[in-house]
């Protein structure tokens, strides 16, 4: 079975342009090209109609914001083809049920944002399609996450499979304070669920992303922009630029090297260094030992290097009798005792 959540550098790297294009399609194209050149695995957008997302009467300001940031069907399809033609996955949080029919062909998985973790009617429509899902968990507690996971499994048994659902630790603040990131939740989710677990970032910089990966995150999602300078829309200020993404990838490669092998063995380089001799201790006479002396613990000392009798065998020497005179600090052998 294909691993939908495996990236070319290790973790699946999702660069979210989201609304950073601010409704300007030419700017969306520019950001997409920069993201492609950043060597990420997935470029993510938001697919919605302001009128089917926000209640105009209850939140007129939010409604106007999303109406301004809308991209058309044709524009999203052009962005999707641009990604795919450059060997990068196109992804979108699809917030409008009417758009599934034409965008589905371009999606390998569906991203469910934190705000829709409890939108069961939307989740049911996605579950019926049966593609992998990436689920962000901002605004939620563990019980709500469990309920949503169980709901998805109840609507389509394919989500019993570990490779069809992934869960991202996320805190829905813009930006996150360091004390609100709570990367230890990654371990909580790994212990609770048999799914790939990742992290969706809303911090400034890359430290949280690097730390999340070192803690075992299988997916790293972050916002993406060309520059933060002079921008008023909040998402730009928690976004990475192309140079920062490339630096993050470099760090991931370094972390991969540092992670190394999970087997604890004596390494060839440790053997060739001879440190197993120079760092470990052997047993030496603390003082001159006369022929016929019955060895006591206070007659011995363990010191580097490990020449002669290994320090682990000190109890075997105690009680033996020296059959010759033994000089202080000389290398010992069992032939000297009976």
> How many CB atoms are located within 10 Å of the residue 275 CB?
12
Per-residue pLDDT, 51: 75
> How many CB atoms are located within 10 Å of the residue 273 CB?
12
Nearest to 158 by CA among 192, 122, 195, 187: 195
What CA–CA distance (Å, rounded) separates 81 from 101? 16
Nearest to 219 by CA among 45, 40, 3, 7: 7
Rounded average pLDDT over 120-147: 97
pLDDT in tens, 167-203: 999 999 999 999 999 999 999 999 999 999 999 999 9
337 DSSP β-pair partners = 322
Q: What is the DSSP letter of 48?
A: -
Helix axes 25-36, 73-85, angle to 10 degrees: 20
> 53 burial class (0-12, 13-18, 19+ CB within 10 angstroms)?
middle
Q: Domain 7-259: what homologous superfamily?
A: Aldolase class I (3.20.20.70)
Q: How far is CA 331 from CA 71, 309, 317, in A?
A: 81, 8, 14
Q: What is the DSSP letter of 241?
A: P
Rounded average pLDDT over 211-238: 95
pLDDT band, very low/low/confident/very high, at 2 (cuts 50, 70, 90) = low
What CA–CA distance (Å, rounded) separates 147 from 142? 9
R_g of the chain, CA atoms, integer Å: 30
pTM of the model: 0.90
Pair 53, 96: CB distance under 8 Å:
yes
What CA–CA distance (Å, rounded) separates 71 from 95? 13
169 DSSP β-pair partners = 199
Nearest to 256 by CA among 3, 2, 7, 1: 7
pLDDT in tens, 10-57: 999 999 999 889 899 999 999 999 999 999 999 999 998 777 788 889
> Who's near 98: CB < 8 A, 6+ residues apart?
49, 52
Least-confidence region, from 39-43, 49-53, 293-297, 332-336 = 49-53
Q: How far is CA 148 from CA 120, 137, 170, in A?
A: 8, 10, 15
Structurally, at CATH architecture level, domain 268-336 sits in Alpha-Beta Complex (3.90)
Rounded average pLDDT over 221-248: 95
Mean pLDDT, the chain, as a whole number?
A: 95
Rounded average pLDDT over 235-259: 96
Could you tell me the residue ranges of all domains in the chain?
Answer: 7-259, 268-336
């Amino acid at each position: 079975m294909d691993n939908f959540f495996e990236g070319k550098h290790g973790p699946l790297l999702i660069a979210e342009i989201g609304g950073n294009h601010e409704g300007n399609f030419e700017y969306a194209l520019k950001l997409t090209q920069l993201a492609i050149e950043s060597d990420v695995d997935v470029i993510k957008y938001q697919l919605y109609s302001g009128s089917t997302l926000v209640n105009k009467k209850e939140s007129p300001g939010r409604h106007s914001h999303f109406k301004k940031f809308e991209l058309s069907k044709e524009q999203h399809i052009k962005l999707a083809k641009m990604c795919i033609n450059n060997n990068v996955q196109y992804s979108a949080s699809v917030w409008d049920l009417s758009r599934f029919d034409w965008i589905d062909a371009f999606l390998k998985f569906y991203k469910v944002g934190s705000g829709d973790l409890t939108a069961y009617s939307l989740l049911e429509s996605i579950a019926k399609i049966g593609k992998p899902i990436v689920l962000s968990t901002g605004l939620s507690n563990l019980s709500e996450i469990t309920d949503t996971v169980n709901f998805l499994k109840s609507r389509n048994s394919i989500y019993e499979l570990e490779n069809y659902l992934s869960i991202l630790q996320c805190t829905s603040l813009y930006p996150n304070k360091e004390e609100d990131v709570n990367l230890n939740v990654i371990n909580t989710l790994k212990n609770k669920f048999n799914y790939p677990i990742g992290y969706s970032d809303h911090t400034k910089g890359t430290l949280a992303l690097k730390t999340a990966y070192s803690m075992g995150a299988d997916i790293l999602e972050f916002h993406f922009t060309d520059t933060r300078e002079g921008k008023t829309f909040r998402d730009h200020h928690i976004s990475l630029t192309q140079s920062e993404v490339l630096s993050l990838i470099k760090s991931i490669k370094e972390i991969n090297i540092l992670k190394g092998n999970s087997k604890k063995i004596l390494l060839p380089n440790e053997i060739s260094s001879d440190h197993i001799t120079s760092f470990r201790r052997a047993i030496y006479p603390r003082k001159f030992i006369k022929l016929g002396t019955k060895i006591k613990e206070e007659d011995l000392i363990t010191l580097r290097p490990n020449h002669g009798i290994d320090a682990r065998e000190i109890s075997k020497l105690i009680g033996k009798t020296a059959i010759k005179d033994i000089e202080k600090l000389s290398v010992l052998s069992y032939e000297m005792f009976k």
